[in-house]
Amino acid sequence: MSENKRKTVALTTLGCKVNQFETASFISRFQDHGIDVLPFAQRADIYVINTCAVTGKAGAQSRQVIRQALRTNPKARIIVTGCYAQIATQDILELADQPICIVGNDNKHLLVDIALSNKLCDLEIYMGDVRRQKEICDLPVHNYSDRTRAFLKIQDGCDNFCTYCIVPYARGRVRSLEPERALSQIAVFAREGFRELVLTGIHVGMYGKDLKADCNLATLVRRILEQKHAMRYRISSLEPGELSDELLQIIAESTAMMPHFHLPLQSGDPTILKKMNRKYTVEEFSSVVNKIIQFIPDAGIGLDVLVGFPGEDEAMFANTLELIERLPIAYLHVFPYSRRPGTVAEKMPDQVPKAVKDERVARLQELNHKKKTAFYNKHIGTTHRVLAEGKKNRFKMLRGFTENYIPVFFQGPPALENKIVDVKIERTMDENVFGKLQGTLFD
């Protein structure tokens, strides 16, 4: 490579919104160093793969994209980070004869310096023991490729140790971003023109548990709202036991906080919840969902459901179906259980056959369709604030999400992108929602 040729980097992200935030930080720092960022499919000098390990399939996808980078440019510097890198270091090293730089989750703040270094990789330095880490990585972000919505990682790690989950081993214990650092990063996003921010983390509801000051998620949200930025805010997935009345009241009273909640149910059967080491009962979960609706009647509530956990028989699955049927929710994210090496559930007896899991997933997807269309149809004739996100969709229309997370298509000029507009929901077609621009800009 000639000395006057600018170095190039290509990055890809698997998994959660936390990984997306971290990759955005890497991009910001690479750009600060004058490095050109290319699409991952192109030939680059450096490849960064931010991996996921939440399922066995995610691990396989991580290996696949590492091989893709090796094929695209065998002479490139390969940097692998994320949860799969944390728990499967040796498997990654065996993918190639050439050196691969592996950066542990607690050393992601060093990743760009490692990528730009001419030194060979030293795993002892770059991996570390994430379980001993007591502070969250400092990963400032200047911009996102998505100019409408930004993510802010306010928390990392998990102390729950659900029997099916590898995340506590890959991410370590709960660590929170100091409120001042969070507020400073949000101010950067506001100056950059973002209109929506998602507060995210591995276990967001535990925010502040590790901080010396008296701070929790509700107090952080209050401080964010006091800044009065021209943005609206969402909170990513919350455990049901962490949704306090105080936080619900804040969301209900603020036009800047979006009435959208995502809760990991996983199972509606008491025996399976205990085997999963979940921290709530079916009755407690139902109470949380109904409390949300009491505070915010039009709230959009989504659930995660894990199907086919070891020992789940037809009656136990029926309990999950029955619970979801009667809960006032808007949509489901359905996942078949997959054995994750290193977890307690991997060695449990009575593993459910794949064909049974597939059949149960299909039944829950039918229920998802029923719940989703009912929620959408209930809002026909109502007007909502929608953040217009562009026309890159099969209908070639503007698209955006309502406050309660209904994706709606509507006609309008491209100049409305990244604007918050009034849209009246007029009709649905299958799971697609269509509305009409009402003309009022909230800018």
* Under 8 Å between Cβ of 25 and 140: yes
- The verdict on 23 and 68 lying in the same domain is yes
- The verdict on 223 and 266 lying in the same domain is no
> Which of 233-247, 336-350, 428-442 comes out lowest in average pLDDT?
428-442
- The verdict on 13 and 123 lying in the same domain is yes
Can you tell me the mean pLDDT for 212-221?
Answer: 89
- Which of 360, 378, 396 delimits the end of a domain? 378
The helix/strand count (H/E) of the chain reads as 14, 17
> CA 215 to CA 185: how far, in whole Å?
18
Buried b (16+ CB within 10 A) or exposed e, 53-68: bbbeebbebbbebbee
Provide the CATH number for the domain around residue 118: 3.40.50.12160
CB count in 10 Å sphere of residue 108: 22
- The verdict on 420 and 371 lying in the same domain is no
- The verdict on 136 and 230 lying in the same domain is yes
> CA 211 to CA 182: how far, in whole Å?
13
pLDDT tens across 179-208, in order? 999 999 999 889 888 999 999 988 899 999
- The verdict on 81 and 50 lying in the same domain is yes
- The verdict on 315 and 337 lying in the same domain is yes
> CA 438 to CA 424: how far, in whole Å?
7
- The verdict on 278 and 163 lying in the same domain is no
Model confidence at 224, pLDDT cuts 50, 70, 90, reads very high
- The verdict on 155 and 228 lying in the same domain is yes
Tell me if 2 is assigned to some domain: no
> CA 262 to CA 124: how far, in whole Å?
38
pLDDT tens across 360-404, in order? 999 999 999 999 999 999 999 999 999 999 888 889 999 999 999
Spacing of C-alpha 353 from chain mean position: 29
Tell me if 208 is assigned to some domain: yes
Can you tell me the mean pLDDT for 139-156?
Answer: 75
> CA 209 to CA 240: how far, in whole Å?
17
What is each CA distance from 21 to 25, 129, 142, 172, 299, in whole angstroms? 6, 22, 11, 18, 26
- The verdict on 329 and 318 lying in the same domain is yes
> CA 395 to CA 53: how far, in whole Å?
34
Model confidence at 289, pLDDT cuts 50, 70, 90, reads very high
Tally the domains of the chain: 4
Closest CA to 276 of 323, 312, 314: 312
Model confidence at 138, pLDDT cuts 50, 70, 90, reads low
What the block records as the tokens of 262 is 């995502």
Closest CA to 305 of 371, 247, 253, 242: 371
Tell me if 3 is assigned to some domain: no
Task: State the residue range of the domain holding 398.
Answer: 383-442
End-to-end CA distance of the chain: 47
- The verdict on 111 and 16 lying in the same domain is yes
- By three-state DSSP, how is residue 358 classified? helix
Model confidence at 125, pLDDT cuts 50, 70, 90, reads very low
Closest CA to 86 of 48, 50, 114, 137: 50
pTM of the model: 0.83
